[in-house]
Structure 1
């Protein structure tokens, strides 16, 4: 995977260049300190991936990314920035990742692995379809922002949403991720694919495997996760009827 690093800070470019050396299947093709230089090298080097800063003199990274993604067969873009406030406008140009500085080699490797899954034509199609919507209603991906950066979760991979204290946790095949969204909002958006089982949990219908007795009540079992959300007495009849329809 050929990579072009675009950042106005020489030390930041050098750090990313060193980290790329330890990631299998990646080759540093070049470096650019501003948007104009990046566009020139984009034409000559034809990179598969841009590691792109946002705050730069002249044209910033968001403006540059908009230009690039409107080109035929654009490269993947991973934003590497010191500011989390750009996350929402950044995802309007459909990047493959959004990392907060200082970027660790583990975070970079994970973001690159995600970007590597799609070919250039596939990325172009996804960008053309933005904002992303699901075949069954709601977004295809959910954005989670943390100190480690921005993570995109495929909704089709989420087994359940569970409310804990002030947060909602999405449980998926890769583990769990804290979201800054309410359970009520998620149920309203994804109600065609997720069903309420408790005031603190909604679960993905396609991953339900059964009901089990537990502590005088029931829990719902799900494939691909050890989580077993409780089922309220009021909703037990609904879940049993759903299981009969699925059988």
Structure 2
């Protein structure tokens, strides 16, 4: 049990003895930490924002605001804590669970019942933490993969080509395909330009038109054409249209004011 991360608890009850009972009960669990105690319902939100508890042990009948109202307010926070109601009144149990209470302890409770509450809280808390960590790890792996994308797999009838991203000079749309413009050939890839925009190295390629992306390092000229249109000339000799929508971003990337 000692290898578990600390769980932070806030105790809310207008009776000093009730707060003491919960505090002493939590002391049996070395991975629990009481970060605050409050005796009025209208002080809970501020205490939660200050002490950032994982769990609030919350009485229902209190001065200021009752516990059910406090619970509703807590649910509006970006990261609300879990709620365990601790009360002498069982008439509010259904409403409490409808407000997403994790458990409902009736006073006076014994050690066995309190241990069940702790087990329920820990099971949910640690499962949530593991799921959050797994999602974060998967996202990190995916982000890292996208940042390091260096090869495109292009499939065609009877053929699979591995295209080195470093060899792509620019890209343009062609119906349901994207044309990959290399030095010596143009390769059709069945994918959207928007999809590639999300996956290609952001420091290497820039969107210049709804139909085109170019390698930034290959730009040799920026042209203002007679008809009010714009174009980028690449070192390969290719001239790619630049729309008004993307002009400013391109000029900024080129260091042109």
**How high is the TM-score relative to the length of structure 1?**
0.47
Instruction: Name which structure has the greater RCO, CA cutoff 8 Å, separation 6+.
Output: 1
Which has more radius of gyration? Answer: 2
**How high is the TM-score relative to the length of structure 2?**
0.45
